[in-house]
Amino acid sequence: MSIKEFLIGTPLETIKEKQERLTKTLGLAVFSSDALSSVAYGTEEIMIALLAGGAVLLHFTLPIAITIVGLVAIVAISYFQTIHAYPNGGGAYIVAKDNLGVYPGLIAGAALLVDYVLTVTVSISAGVAAVTSAFPALTEHAIALCLFAILAIMIMNLRGVKESGKLVSFPVYVFIGGLSLLIVAGLFKWIRIPAPAIHKQVVSAAASALPLFIILRAFASGCATLTGIEAVSNGVKAFKEPEAKNAAMTLGWMAFILGALTLGIAFLAQGFHILPKANETVLSQLTRAIFGTGPIYYVIQFATALILILAANTSFADFPRLSSIMAADRYLPRQLSNRGDRLVFSNGIVILGLLSAVPIIIFGGNTDALIPLYAVGVFTAFTLSQAGMVRHWYRLRGDGWIKSMFINGLGTVVTFVVLLIIAMTKFMHGAWIVVVAIPGLVMLTHKIHSHYLDVADELSLQTGNKEVEYSHHTVLIPLSGVHRAVLKAVKYGKALSDDVKAVYVVLDMSEAKKLQEKWTEYGMGVPLILLHSPYRSISGPLMDYIENIQTEYPAGVITVILPEFVPLKWWHHILHNQTALLIKGKLLFKKGVVSTSVPLRLQK
């Protein structure tokens, strides 16, 4: 078994693609892990933002959480309609492109791609923060733990959608069960033993001067809870048939669980007067306050850490799918549309892993530093998707179109207002990076598309460009010495043309004389051309000689045959120079020149 097969498994036949699709149970685990994981830090981010105005503002935690849950309901209902209207998936990119035009579609696609990268960085860093809360000795190794987690999830997803779903489902359902138990037990304890206030009701200068701004900033921080809601609409084709029905039901359950857990944690955090701490998460404090530091505490902490880390799995499921759709439309490199051995878009998975490691290294795995970057992209996609659906219903005007258009219209207005709030309150805290990155990615996708159109035009048989008829064929064989590989190349060259020349770049005259003597004996009548190189360059004199031939035969073609011997073991390549590779690279950009290799495979 090779290392590749050990890590990702044996290849799957294309015909087995439908067997690899997800049930609703696995689909909930795969596509909701991102959204559900935000329960672990969403309330905390609200509280941290509110503390800027003093502890007195913490009583806004629950109202803000209720507002966010209402927003979850609006967005979920809107995407429920999107799933049925566009059952082939693609989410915001397809909806915006189909109804609003190419550029809105590219903006939505770019926003989601950026958001998926940030989802990995935030979820991984938050998961590691949960681990270091339980085991403070690991704090100094946070970045290394984050990078290891990214690698592990990347390999897990390369093994296939179904297999990654099975691995993710257990911690997801343990997390849901653990937090449900926490909320129920916390409510009973809060009712029976009201917790005393542990913070002073002090109104800070900031709270007196800018209370509305602080509340809006806290709301913007808490809106990270909505990231991941669009994941199901992007991955409809990952579900078993009927795909749209199963995806829509999964979305409904995800929204309900997300809303219930968010409200429960916010209510208990406010009810038990929890304060954010630098070295311990709010969820950890709340669990300890309700269950103590017994087995249940560590089970919930472990499940929280796992789901936070595995929340990145949602991005690894959706980023490759979205990038493959955009690649099929020729807005991203075509390699992203290719499926790998396990019927997943392997190139997209690997690229996401590499891109998501960069912010973690730059920001040191700090969740608070990464959160401000997080929600701009997803709410941009929300807004464009809902606006696209409004246009969609207006164009079709089928049964119930006014009701559907109203729902999506409400979603458009609400998500746009939230986008403005996030952009204004988080701009100076890092959101400007995303605001710059999205247009930059849109420009890149446009350049890629233009390139593919130009290539298609150049290669088209309908353009009427008649290919040149070659009047002469010159074959050149660069030499490094006289050996069996060279003689094999000479025989091949003589089969191609009558005009065959051997070329030797002279770096040492004594070596050149020895080679001339051997060539007289073994050269099979092929003339030897000596090219002098005063600056010890191999490729320079050869390129000059080729240009001279092209001047002599403007309508001719030149074939450069490179004799190569192939060592038996891979590490033997390190012991030999790669001059042939360098020459091939330079000839690739020479018009009217063809390069080919004649290999001689060594046996020892």
Lowest-pLDDT choice from 53-57, 310-314, 413-417, 521-525: 53-57
> pLDDT by residue (tens digit) across 477-505?
999 889 888 999 999 999 999 999 999 99
pLDDT, mean of residues 337-366: 86
In this structure, the answer to whether residues 300 and 398 fall within a common structural domain is yes
Q: What's the pLDDT band for 374 if we cut at 50, 70, 90?
A: low
CATH number of the CATH domain containing 428: 1.20.1740.10
**Is residue 62's pLDDT more than 70?**
yes
Q: What angle do CA 277, 281, 283 make, to 5 degrees?
A: 130
403, 421, 452 - which closes a domain: 452
Residue 199 has pLDDT above 70, yes or no: no
Q: Pull the structure tokens for residue 269.
A: 């955090």
**Domain identity same for 527 and 430:** no
Of 292, 326, 344, 257, the closest CA to residue 38 belongs to: 257
How far apart CA 330 and CA 208 sit, in angstroms, is 53
The predicted-structure confidence for 428-456, as pLDDT tens digits, reads as follows 666 677 888 889 999 999 999 999 998 88
Amino acid in position 596: T
Cis peptide before 242 (omega within 30 of 0): yes
**pLDDT tens figures, 534-567:** 877 888 899 999 999 999 998 899 999 999 888 8
Residue that has been written with the tokens 């360059």 in this structure: 537
Mean pLDDT (whole number) for 571-587: 79
- Stretch 294-319: mean pLDDT, rounded? 84
**Segment 8-26 mean pLDDT:** 80
- Name the token pair of 209: 């001067």
142-146, 160-164, 235-239, range with greatest mean pLDDT: 142-146
Q: pLDDT band at 193, cuts 50/70/90?
A: low
Residue 114 lies in a domain: yes
| 28-38 average pLDDT score | 84
> What pLDDT sits at residue 310?
79
Does residue 405 sit in the same domain as residue 550? no
Q: Is residue 63 part of a domain?
A: yes
> How many structural domains comprise the chain?
2
Whether the predicted model's global pTM rises above the 0.85 cut: no
- Residue 151 covered by a domain: yes
Same domain, 298 and 435: yes
Whole-number percent of the chain with pLDDT over 70: 92
Looking at residue 225, its pLDDT comes to 80
CB 109 within 8 A of CB 326: yes
Q: Is the pLDDT of residue 126 over 60?
A: yes
Same domain for 267 and 413?
yes
Q: Helices (DSSP H) in 54-101: which residue ranges?
A: 61-85, 91-99
In a domain, 303, yes or no: yes
Task: Kindly state the tokens that stand for 496.
Answer: 């191609």
Q: Is residue 438 located within the same domain as residue 492?
A: no
Q: What is the mean pLDDT of the chain?
A: 84
Whether 215 has a pLDDT exceeding 70, the answer reads yes
Is 461 a member of any domain? no
Query: What pLDDT was estimated at residue 367?
Result: 62
Per-residue pLDDT averaged across 323-333, rounded?
A: 92
Residue in the block written with tokens 């017994």: 294
Regarding whether 508 and 436 lie in a shared domain, the answer is no
Q: Which domain holds residue 588?
A: 473-601
Helix (H, G, I), strand (E, B) or coil at 390: helix
360 and 403 co-located in one domain = yes
Of 273, 279, 123, 282, nearest to 198 by C-alpha is 273
With 0-12 / 13-18 / 19 or more C-beta atoms within 10 angstroms meaning exposed / middle / buried, residue 152 is: middle
Does the residue 468 lie in any domain? no
Residue that finishes a domain, picked among 452, 484, 512: 452
Mean pLDDT of 100-120: 90
Within a domain: 371 = no
Whether residues 538 and 593 fall in one domain: yes
> In this predicted structure, what is the pLDDT of residue 330?
92
CATH code, domain with 567: 3.40.50
Looking at residue 465, its pLDDT comes to 58
Is residue 202 one of the residues assigned to a domain?
yes
pLDDT at 466: 61
Residue with the larger pLDDT of the pair 522 and 54? 522
Residues 503 and 402 in one domain: no
355 and 495 together in one domain? no
Which of these three, 419, 452, 485, is where a domain ends?
Answer: 452
209 pLDDT higher than 50: no
Mean pLDDT of 287-314: 84
One domain, residues 354 and 397: yes
Tokens 């935000």 found at: 38
